[in-house]
Structure 1
Amino acid sequence: MTPRTGMTTDTAFLDQLGDRLRGSTTPTTLATAVTRIDSPQAAEIVARLAGARSGRAELYDQLRAGTAPASLDPAWLLAIARIAALGRGMADPDVAVSAFGLVRDRQGTAVFDSASADLYAQLLLRHAPDRLADLLGELELTDPVLWALQTDAVNPFTGAGRSADEWAARLTIPFTDAGLDPVGVTGDAAVPFERLTATPATTVEDAGTVTVVMSAYRPDRGIFAAAASILNQSWRDLELLVVDDASPPDYTELLDEVAALDDRVRVLRAPVNGGTYLVRNLALDHARGDFVTFQDFDDWSHPRRLERQLEPLLADPRLLATRSRALRAFPDLSFTYPGYPPGRLNASSLLFRRREALELAGYFDAVRKSADVEFPQRLAAAAPGSLLDLPESLPLAVTQLRTDSLSRGHISPGWLHWTRILYRDAFRYRNRLIRAGSVPARYDGNPGARVLPLPDPSWSALPSAPSEPRYDVVVVNDWRQKKRNPDGVIADLRMAIGAGLSVAVAHGETFDPAPRPGAHEAMDSRILELFTTGELAVSHLTQRARAGLVLVHDPAALQFVPDTGGSGLTAERVAVVVDEASGQDEGRSYRAADVAANAKRLFGTEPVWVPRTARARARLEAGGFGEVSAHTLVNAFAPFGLTVHILRPGPGRPVIGRHVPDHASHWPATSADLLAAYPDHDDIDVRLLGGHRTPARALGGAALPPNWLTYDDDQMDVRTFLAQLDFFVYFDRDGAAVPGAAVLEAVASGCVVVLSPQLKPVYGDGAVYCAPAEVRDVVTRLHGSPDAFAQQQHRARRWADEHHGASAFLTALSGLAGG
């Protein structure tokens, strides 16, 4: 299969970006990011880092043919193997197996990290099983994966002539090693999964009733195996409450058979289809047990599950809930799932004290997905320490991997669907508020009065789901925490929202800074605040939605994008915003031609390029960017809490300061200019928020002047810092690193801004201008003349209102939208 290329490859651009990534991230981390983004062009970077100078397509052909050059870098070749194995739109298991095999043949298995070793062995079982046996003793595999491979290799349901006794002996190992009753298979059900069985050697009687809730929609006969595993529990005092989610009438007979299995079974029928969690909420109102837990209708529970999960609750009254682990298996009882270990936390295993949990947290969120993750976290936020997860070494269930599962298309190794990430980030944000006592934890279960916005209309549990979204403006950026999300971008959003526009944000991942290892990074908390309060929607490049205007705030957010096949977000107009910093990043973090091509491919519309300043316009009009808009989308001047009502200048000596990045480009080039702009005199008080390590280096590592006071970034917020200053003074290396929103923040706070004359075309009456050597005189003069100081404050505010106020910003935005 020929890999997708996405667009013409600029090798010089990819190589310079690859060189920076090589020094700032690891092959595995970058491969995970590439599979998450699902960008063929991003995969080209990894191929070139591996040494494939002719590109990924030729490398794939060489790997298939066994002709790959000996010069390939083994660490990056392992990364290519991971992309070929797990890339959703770039999967090629044969190439992955060949790449892993090539590294093993040339370098040995010592260069394999554990994740690569596990993945290689898992792929061999699926695609080259005859080669697996020789490698099992050679690869350093994790114990759970090794067990799954050895068990699957002798599975009689997947291969003829295999020993059922040998397989059965291996099947039970995780259970008996944990001190549980042996697990085997029995009966002649057509689906091997439904033959799972275990018999408890002892039982527990009359120790408190447990209600086990089993939701079902269009169930097949596998529900009998699931029900039997509950009715066979060692904990005998239970009721099985089966709730049908409005299945068609022809399922009535099957459900009646389930009801007849045991006197402890009750069947309820929901009036309308609302999804698993609406069904669970209905069951909570009918449950009779002291405790409640859940069971999916196609899974199997070990007979000790309830007993083992109840033991900690009975021993510690402070605990409210427990969860347990499960093994996951396909219907043929094979456990190898490439990219995953065989075990996982079983969300459906949640078992809690019914009365206490309902009083404290209420009901499950009325959505169709992920509420079984949200509810226990909300409960734990309301009562810290009340949720206990049992050890990984104690598997108390086997969950079934089915192709028709709601989660299968939303989860793959290293990737979650954007709606699940958004929902996770939103409920975590609200849980922080719960822990702080700012919002209540309890939700009454009303689907029409949910406390969290819907990630997407398809998540709605209401009978008539909302229609396909339509937004006035969708702002595209890399919205992860600690990425390029300056306050000015948030101010743009607030101003558009304040004007009554329907606004959404959409995420586009960038490689600046480089990807970091670990789980999916959370979304910027300021975006989550706007989302959870309902002021802002969140969309995605792949969402079926329509926008009047797509506003790309960082061009790099459209450099590496997925292939939506024309079924994602579409727009009437697209505008790519460029400021001084992003203008300089062209050819470094993005290519203008690629961004334009991706905009056309994704949204169906050619973009225009929009400057934020006169300097940015000059950069765009110098060529290479395509059509340049006649509008300038000014930085929005909106104080939003920055204004401080302090009479300035204050008594005593003048206080000057700054808060900008700790980078050499943001500071004067020489120590002489540095000490002139920020004088080391007792008659001037200098204060810095962050960014003080660079001047220390510029002064030869000597101690900073005694009249300088420095703060780390986490010691105070910008508003508090600016309230201390009379003057915001900014000088840099060559006048190129424009301070942007920092100047507007300083004006909003009431500071007089002092800048280099080079910046006068940008800031006009918003500042006073002088050379570094003149700063002391200018500051002293204005500080000594309250009238002159006040006049400059008024001039700066008037300039900001005219050039960066709501009217200027919204006029430009309306022009871009075609209004």
Structure 2
Amino acid sequence: MLGGPTTTETRAITRKAMLSDYVDKAATRGVALEATALRTESTAMRAILAHAASDGRLECDELVKNVLAGSTQGLDPEWTAKLARVCALQQSHDTDLEFALRAFKVMNAALPKTVDYRRFHKLHVELLTQESQYEDAERLIEQNPDLQALYYGYLKTDLKNPFLRQDPSLHTAWLEAFNAPLRNKCLAEIRLNDDIDQKPFDRLETATELSAIEDGPLVTVIMTTYHPDPNGVLVSARSIIEQSWRNIELLVVDDGSPSEYNDTLDALASLDPRVRVIRLLNNGGTYRARNVGISEAQGKYITGQDADDWSHPHRIERQVRTLEADPALPAVQAFAITMNEDLVRMRPGYNPFIQSAPTLMVKQEIAEKLGGYLDARKAADNEFRHRISRFTGKEVKLLKEPLIFMRILASSLSRGDFRAGWQHPARRAFWSSYVEWHESAVEEELAIRPGEDPPVFIPERFKVERTRTDNRHPEYDVVFVGDWRQLGGPQISMLNEIEALRQQDLQIAVMHLEATRFMASSAKKLCAPVQKLINEGAVTQLLPDEKANLKLLVLRYPPILQFPPDTPISASVERLIILANQAPSERDGSDIRYIPVECADNAERLFGTRGTWAPQGPTVRSALDGLLDPDEIAEYDIPGIIDTDLWRADRSYFRGDRPILGRHSRDNAMKWPEDPADLEAAYPSHGKFDVRVMGGARAALKVTGASRAPSSWVIFETNEMPVRAFLNSLDYFVYFQHSAAYDAFGRAVLEALASGCVTILPAHFQETFGNAAIYAAPDQVEELVSYYHERPVEFVKQANRAMEIVEERFSFKGYASLIQSILAQDQR
């Protein structure tokens, strides 16, 4: 346990132990730590990487200072390279780039071949190129055959780019290499026209004459514009007009550009008889404009084209032939090569060959049935593709051919939403919302009908018509901050608390912040129950950068604050409660999850206040003793609550002919007694009792050394049945864990008590649950079960007592009363 006064020395020791625990988790999860640091914009996680790189000797600032001074002795090459990669892609500090370059120079050469070293070498080349250190970049590529093979040698090709190097003599060799991906896919090669006053991207054209395909179905290409760049939009439109597939109509839908763009729109209209310009009076966003195009489309197939991209002349032909060859396909999407205006494809942290959302080509009848795109300003193209697949039951086919060149501009609409490894939380929130809608809706519910809004959360910054137009910030009574990806004890507790407060007509919002303990290599959607509440509008999802006035912010799960994002939230917080639902560590001091005083410091930076810590129960309160200023710990606890009406069960008699006892929990070693004798005593295998376990029992079998569960045990995997149904099948709930486990509250216990199970627990739970349960040692379980099973009246009395105490101490009503009193304090 972390107990005892917090001094500088003890904090340093504790911090090192905590970082070691996090390193152990990261070591088994590949790129998860790096990905999480980038995704959450947290520089605090660098401490974990530095700890691993220096074998616990150095904090990140010290390690960086040493490397900049030329001292790299004793550093682990892989962990140092990981730290360098995070620094290079975040570039949050002035020294980040210099550190990354110096670290890569030393560490990349020392990386063992067993490591996926290519991503570090690739980033090193990209950084050297960015810093105009071309010879060093070329030398690194020559030393690394794997880099030479990446996407047809694009790194080496970019270093020959005559516009990057400002050397026209490189043009012929560069162009030959630049065309390699096209040759490989039997696509016509490109060249640049002679208009050297134009940007290289705007000089793209086909190197050879194409065979025109006159016969075949009509394809409608929809290009939306707003304040179009005259050169770029004409280049983009010509790339469609000059397609080998001739039966095309190009609908240019201008999204309310002012009159000074009329000449450009007139020039587009005069390009070709197949071009039609549709001028909208008001700006409504790209996808509203595309829906206008869909309503005007005459083609059998509909596809898109961004106004600053260049489609390869075989693009439409390849896509149409794919759809015509397989009538069951609903749609097809092409890949793009991304590049800047100088046709350089290197971007630190990115790959140049990606899916191109605008190239989606869909059957016109499907587009109309689905009602087109969602009414959002951003990210609706990916939603539409997913919805097509869900609606038709067929995957959209991906053509892995470079059929479009995507121009990457820092000023484009979506660029501010992306950095390497990061995208704006609004995009993740929108994605999570529509995925939940798609997965829960039946086919006909996926069609958007005029005048009806589908159950999807569209973030405020994506709305075509903003909800708030008077510059007033929204107000919320209570905002629940948590890591909402999993559906575990903390999330279930918050969902119950939300429901309790909604019944009081309070304005509720939720905010999602990731906890580093659950580091993951990719973003995850929010758990279904909270996402459903958001989609239905029952609660609002408040994003960290949205302004609002919050009367009370409740953060459940303190480890969120250990390695938080760098940027403070934008909302104004009147009062913060840090709900300590978990002790800082296990009882023996292992598995250190967070350091309370550091979390309080981070809370002040993130939310503007250090907050008040409310333990979930007596166990956590004792664990926090001495680790925080006493004034920072609330006098009250906030235990978990439960909908007693929902969980209450009839306990007028036993469930079977012989006692049925069981438990549910995660399949984790800390969730089971470590002593085989205790495990056998608590969950006997003699066959006199039925023993039922939900959540798996592999950890238990490791304790006993058995290869299979006893015949009297019935094992259910996690969520194999609803927890209520499982508990309703039991007479007795028996819950013993590892002796070092630190169960802060016991959500599983509360559910069992609310269901009327006669519950047998170790003594440390008594302070939390009182007379609702029976407290004993494992070797007393069999005697107790036999006692109650021989006395049905006593059994029923204990079951009813449990349900009554839960109603009194852990109900919605009691929780709502507590929160109302806290809110009232702020009004005095």
Same structural fold, with TM-score higher than 0.5 when normalized by the shorter chain: yes
1:610 is matched with which residue? 614
User: Cα offset for 1:253?
Assistant: 2.2
User: Cα offset for 1:727?
Assistant: 1.3
Which structure 2 residues correspond to residues 405-444 of structure 1 after superposition, within 5 A?
Answer: 405-434=412-441, 437=442, 440-444=445-449
Q: Structure 1's 57 and 582: CA in aligned 2 closer, same or farther, altered over 3 A?
A: closer
User: Cα offset for 1:643?
Assistant: 4.2
Deviations 1:331-381 (A, max 9, x none): 12211111111111110001111123322x221011111100000110100
User: Cα offset for 1:464?
Assistant: 5.9
- Mean Cα deviation higher: 531-540 or 627-636: 531-540
The answer to whether structure 1 residue 80 and structure 2 residue 80 are counterparts is no
* Aligned partner letter, 2:234: F
Q: What root-mean-square deviation, in Å, do the aligned CA atoms of Structure 1 and Structure 2 show?
A: 2.7
2:218 is matched with which residue? 209
For the residue of structure 1 that corresponds to 2:594, the secondary structure is coil
For the residue of structure 1 that corresponds to 2:39, the secondary structure is helix
2:97 is matched with which residue? 93
User: Cα offset for 1:583?
Assistant: 6.7
From 754, 758, 770, the equivalent of 2:760 is: 754
From 734, 746, 750, the equivalent of 1:729 is: 734
* Aligned partner letter, 1:20: D
- Mean Cα deviation higher: 640-649 or 222-231: 640-649
Aligned-partner Cα distance in 2 for 1:143–1:528? 43
User: Cα offset for 1:325?
Assistant: 0.7
- Mean Cα deviation higher: 791-800 or 341-350: 791-800
Deviations 1:599-628 (A, max 9, x none): 111221230010121333333344425511
- Mean Cα deviation higher: 688-697 or 330-339: 688-697
* Aligned partner letter, 2:434: F
Which structure 2 residues correspond to residues 342-381 of structure 1 after superposition, within 5 A?
Answer: 342-359=352-369, 361-381=370-390
Question: TM-score, normalised to structure 1's length?
Answer: 0.92
2:509, 2:540 within 8 Å by CA — same for their partners in 1?
yes
Q: How many residues align?
A: 801
Deviations 1:100-135 (A, max 9, x none): 111245568886622112111111211121212222
* Aligned partner letter, 1:810: A
From 526, 532, 535, the equivalent of 2:529 is: 526
2:3 is matched with which residue? none
- Mean Cα deviation higher: 674-683 or 416-425: 674-683
* Aligned partner letter, 2:601: A
1:561 is matched with which residue? 564
* Aligned partner letter, 2:228: P
Which structure 2 residues correspond to residues 318-717 of structure 1 after superposition, within 5 A?
Answer: 318-359=328-369, 361-391=370-400, 394-434=401-441, 437=442, 440-444=445-449, 446=451, 449-454=453-458, 456-462=459-465, 468-481=473-486, 485=490, 487-513=492-518, 515-517=519-521, 519-564=522-567, 566=568, 568-582=570-584, 584=586, 588-624=592-628, 627-639=632-644, 641-645=646-650, 647-668=652-673, 670-701=675-706, 704-717=709-722
2:87, 2:97 within 8 Å by CA — same for their partners in 1?
yes
Aligned-partner Cα distance in 1 for 2:110–2:737? 51
User: Cα offset for 1:206?
Assistant: 3.1
2:660, 2:689 within 8 Å by CA — same for their partners in 1?
yes
Aligned-partner Cα distance in 1 for 2:593–2:768? 25
* Aligned partner letter, 1:308: R
2:233, 2:308 within 8 Å by CA — same for their partners in 1?
yes
1:365, 1:445 within 8 Å by CA — same for their partners in 2?
no
- Mean Cα deviation higher: 803-812 or 46-55: 46-55
User: Cα offset for 1:295?
Assistant: 0.6
From 718, 727, 737, the equivalent of 2:723 is: 718
The answer to whether structure 1 residue 814 and structure 2 residue 817 are counterparts is no
Aligned-partner Cα distance in 2 for 1:144–1:758? 59
Q: Structure 1's 107 and 768: CA in aligned 2 closer, same or farther, altered over 3 A?
A: closer
User: Cα offset for 1:86?
Assistant: 0.5
- Mean Cα deviation higher: 478-487 or 759-768: 478-487
1:109, 1:138 within 8 Å by CA — same for their partners in 2?
no
Question: TM-score, normalised to structure 2's length?
Answer: 0.91
From 760, 781, 787, the equivalent of 1:781 is: 787
2:747 is matched with which residue? 741
Identity %: 31
Aligned-partner Cα distance in 2 for 1:615–1:55? 32
User: Cα offset for 1:738?
Assistant: 5.6
Deviations 1:32-66 (A, max 9, x none): 2222222222112212221183433343334334x
* Aligned partner letter, 2:291: N
Q: Structure 1's 117 and 757: CA in aligned 2 closer, same or farther, altered over 3 A?
A: closer
- Mean Cα deviation higher: 77-86 or 141-150: 141-150
1:181 is matched with which residue? 188
* Aligned partner letter, 1:286: E
From 39, 52, 59, the equivalent of 1:36 is: 39
1:151 is matched with which residue? 157
Q: Structure 1's 364 and 384: CA in aligned 2 closer, same or farther, altered over 3 A?
A: same
User: Cα offset for 1:579?
Assistant: 3.1
1:631, 1:815 within 8 Å by CA — same for their partners in 2?
no
* Aligned partner letter, 2:389: A
Query: What are structure 1's unaligned runs of at least 5 residues?
Result: 1-7
Q: Structure 1's 679 and 56: CA in aligned 2 closer, same or farther, altered over 3 A?
A: closer
1:165 is matched with which residue? 172
